[in-house]
Amino acid sequence: MHKRSVTPLLVLAAALLAAPLACTQAPADPLKGATSQPPPVDLLEGATWSYSTDDGKTFSAEGPTVDPGEKVVIVAAAKFDVADPAPIAGLTLTTGLSPQVATDLSLNGKPFAPPLKEMTYREIPGVDPALLVSGPNVLTMTFGIMNGHDEARPLPPMTTTLIALKGENVAFQTGPALGYFDAEHFTVTCRTNVPIAVTLRARPIDAKGAAEILVASDKALMHRVKVKRAQGVDAYEFRLEAAFGKAVTTTDWLMAPRWSDVTDGTMRFAAAADSRTIPHQWRAVSLAIAAAKPQLLVFAGDMVTAGRSDWEWDEQYFGPAKEMLATVPTYAVIGNHEEEAPVYPELFYTPTPDGRGKNWSQQVGDVLLIGIVGHTSFAPGTDNHKWLERTLAESKAKFIFLFNHYPGWSSRGTTALNEQGVPRDKITHQSRTILMPLLEKYNATAYVAGHHHYYERSEPAAGVTSIITGGAGAPMSSRSQPDLTNNPHSKGVVSRLHFCLFEVSGDTCTMKVITPDGEVFDTRTWQAREVK
């Protein structure tokens, strides 16, 4: 028995009956599949469809005709033949409906679901090919439609596809992306287009006699690999490998980050934020970051427009910056547009015990880096506050940078003051009354944020520089008011694509703010902090 689903009726309203169903499959993605291989096959090509409007009790070859204003829940069944499921590594279902409006998905009577709850999928990957049988198969799904037109309309033909991916179609869909690294480890994340085990193969460089390292992940779509370096080996090249039958898919050989590069008294790291929505702009910024060869990047949030739309992670963040993410370890800080999506902690590897923590800190070289979830409470007495204060108090680093998606000082309107002279916005209020004073107390170097789509540097009297680096690709914005009403400490607002590059040498840290064309439009130098 299929449960009736009411919500999809409203979601689909009019869209289904206004025009033939449009396939919502993404345009061809250069990251998927090797072009020289045969294309994957749609098992539903030539399928026979039937429809039920009584919860699956009876089926008709004809789809229902829906009267004006009427809502109908339909169970659609596709019969198709499969000669031999054995060579199929994975199945991807594209319903042809608006994302995720189909419910009660089943293959040969066995239910299946999208990979992560609370995510929406344009393509549902990872459908288990073990659900297929040799011979006749049946796919069923339930969806609602509403006719918002003035006349009765028939259900348009189904455009559902069920793509059978074979060994030669296996691809690294997302990544590989380098995550945090330390004296003993480096980390890598990736996503494959079918559930499969992935092996990371690391070869020592300049270390005679040192053995190759193999680290395997479980059979899954998401892969998170933490590699422990062998004693005395600093440099590795590595690649990822996925094998199905005789077919082996590999990434290029990539360089793992070297800890010695950040512990020799010099260090360069980049900061950027707000890449979302305009992929070609983010691509330009990411290529400029890669060309600057920083030892790591801290990305301060808002990677995608809507974090729960699964496809945006590839289209807006990982795809455009593929080269940079494979060569520059990224330390991620969550923004509001990530929507606390469950896929977020799977995609990034942070310096926390399980790599999924969203509040993190790590001293890298002479710099303490701290990333926090600025939309959660850091009020005195909370675990967050205790952790942050302890982290600051214990640090002997020469420089401390806090990364929070949300700025404390900004010339945008959201940081404006109310009649009582405090920021209207709760998150800004917290940043200004709790976070900035904590940084001041421990003589930190700077507070780095995004959220507002421009560059702004502020120099409050207490001495902790406040930077907004929201120029990684999102639509540019500007200050709300031409004067300093919202931010008396502002040294200026620049609405240009950019990233920040910090170079540490001895007791000096210099920031350059750089456009994709290589123009430096702001610089700031800090001396090593006095440790209190």
Residue number with the smallest Cβ distance to Fe ion: 451
Give the Cα separation of 266 and 505 in Å (integer).
5
Beta strands of 147-198 (E only): which ranges? 153-154, 161-166, 172-181, 185-196
Give the Cα separation of 48 and 477 in Å (integer).
52
Nearer to Fe ion, 314 or 425 (CB): 425
Nearer to Fe ion, 33 or 335 (CB): 335
Cα dihedral sign, 85-89-95-100: positive
519 by Cβ neighbours in 10 Å (0-12 / 13-18 / 19+) ranks as exposed
Residue with tokens 């309309």: 153
Q: What is the x/- site pattern for Fe ion, positions 291-330, by CB under 5 A? A: -----------x----------------------------
- Total binding residues toward Fe ion, as defined by CB under 5 A: 4
Give the Cα separation of 473 and 278 in Å (integer).
6
Nearer to Fe ion, 201 or 451 (CB): 451
Provide, rounded to whole angstroms, the least separation between the CB of residue 424 and Fe ion: 16
Largest CA-CA distance found in the chain, in angstroms, rounded: 79
Provide, rounded to whole angstroms, the least separation between the CB of residue 452 and Fe ion: 8
Selected from 5, 25, 336, 477, the binder of Fe ion by CB under 5 A is 336
Is 335 a binding residue for Fe ion by CB under 5 A? The answer is yes
Residues 6 or more apart whose CB falls under 8 angstroms from that of 175 comprise 188, 189, 190, 191, 318, 325, 326, 347
Give the Cα separation of 126 and 191 in Å (integer).
11
Give the Cα separation of 379 and 134 in Å (integer).
60
Nearer to Fe ion, 123 or 338 (CB): 338
Provide, rounded to whole angstroms, the least separation between the CB of residue 405 and Fe ion: 6
Is 512 a binding residue for Fe ion by CB under 5 A? The answer is no
Nearer to Fe ion, 200 or 333 (CB): 333
Nearer to Fe ion, 105 or 273 (CB): 273
Nearer to Fe ion, 146 or 298 (CB): 298
Options 95-103, 248-256, 447-455, 499-507: segment touching Fe ion (CB under 5 A)? 447-455
Give the Cα separation of 83 and 136 in Å (integer).
9
Provide, rounded to whole angstroms, the least separation between the CB of residue 356 and Fe ion: 21
Nearer to Fe ion, 16 or 273 (CB): 273
Backbone angles phi, psi at 133, to 5 degrees: -125, 160
Cα–chain center distance at 57: 42
List, as one string, the DSSP characters of 482-494. Answer: SSSSS-TTEEEEE
Nearer to Fe ion, 136 or 475 (CB): 475
- Interacting residues with Fe ion between 341 and 400 (CB under 5 A): none
Provide, rounded to whole angstroms, the least separation between the CB of residue 312 and Fe ion: 15
CB 23 within 8 A of CB 116: no
Nearer to Fe ion, 125 or 335 (CB): 335
Give the Cα separation of 529 and 520 in Å (integer).
25
Options 127-135, 334-342, 423-431, 516-524: segment touching Fe ion (CB under 5 A)? 334-342
Coil, helix or strand at residue 385: helix
Give the Cα separation of 125 and 115 in Å (integer).
7
Is 53 a binding residue for Fe ion by CB under 5 A? The answer is no
Options 288-296, 336-344, 473-481, 501-509: segment touching Fe ion (CB under 5 A)? 336-344
Provide, rounded to whole angstroms, the least separation between the CB of residue 453 and Fe ion: 9
Provide, rounded to whole angstroms, the least separation between the CB of residue 84 and Fe ion: 50
Selected from 166, 191, 223, 451, the binder of Fe ion by CB under 5 A is 451
Residue with tokens 């539903």: 44
Q: Which residues bind Fe ion (CB under 5 A)?
A: 302, 335-336, 451
